[in-house]
Amino acid sequence: MNNKFPQLGMAGFSDSMKNQNLVSMHSTNPMPFTQLELEQTIGQSFASILTDVELGFAPDEGTLALRQTLAQYHYSKSTAAEIMTFAGAQEALFCVYNALLKKNDKVLAVSPIYQPLLQIPLNCGCDVNTIELDAGNNWTLDLNEVEASFKAGCRLFVINFPHNPTGATLTANEFHQVVDLCRQYDVWLLSDEVFRGL
């Protein structure tokens, strides 16, 4: 595929390993259900599931039942009206970045981090800087350094906790401090929580 966007390093490496009969030992994605596993999990045959599938378009923001379930079990202070669902994280990230940012906006992100969290704002023409988690201190986040970056100008702060790849987490107090700093300096916070609940 030819386009102006550079290939993600992780995707390029994975592509270079295709057709080599290797077993992936690095994947962070769960394996999808087999047909039999799906039938056992929901207590219905695959054929009966297919006869009950609505073939129209689902609402752009996700079905009301799904958004209500997410609000109830994951976001106790949110309502279904405040939740949107996507087909995957990359689609959601693309939409968020393009909705919040314009060319030359400053973005700060923790590092190391999932590459698309850096590459998508770069593709939007943003100035992206990273703040390194302290490997010598259990991968902690230096909130004084975060505040210094905010004072220098920042439109969006990107975090991903539980952290991929280290597994580090923020305490509730640290997370509230991050939120307070974002409010104080009028910085959007993008919190990628793909491993939340593990």
Q: What is the pLDDT of residues 82-125, one digit of tens each?
A: 999 988 888 899 999 999 999 999 999 999 888 889 999 999 99
CA–centroid distance for 180 within its chain:
21
User: 99 and 179 share a domain?
Assistant: yes
Tell me the pTM: 0.74
In this structure, of 9-13, 121-125, 132-136, 190-194, the range with the lowest mean pLDDT score is 9-13
Q: Report if residue 155 sits inside a domain.
A: yes
Q: Report if residue 104 sits inside a domain.
A: yes
Residue 161 has pLDDT above 60, yes or no: yes
Q: Which two tokens stand for residue 80?
A: 């279904």
pLDDT for position 33? 79
pLDDT for position 88? 80
Residue 27 or 65, more confident: 65
User: 81 and 144 share a domain?
Assistant: no
Q: What is the DSSP letter of 57?
A: P
Residue 148 has pLDDT above 90, yes or no: yes
Confirm if 85 and 66 have CB atoms less than 8 A apart: yes
User: 96 and 187 share a domain?
Assistant: yes
Q: Which two tokens stand for residue 36?
A: 């039999």
Q: Which two tokens stand for residue 35?
A: 């047909």
Residue 28 has pLDDT above 80, yes or no: no
Q: State the total domains in the chain.
A: 2
* Mean pLDDT of the residues in the chain: 86
pLDDT band at 156 (very low <50, low <70, confident <90, very high): very high
Confirm if 146 and 131 have CB atoms less than 8 A apart: yes
Instruction: Tell me the backbone φ, ψ of residue 43, rounded to 5 degrees.
Output: 70, 30
Cα torsion angle, 100, 182, 118, 71, sign: negative
Supply the CATH number for residue 101's domain: 3.40.640.10
Spatial separation of the C-alpha atoms in residues 101 and 13, rounded to whole Å:
29
pLDDT band at 1 (very low <50, low <70, confident <90, very high): very low
Residue 10 has pLDDT above 70, yes or no: no
**Enclosing domain of residue 98:** 87-191
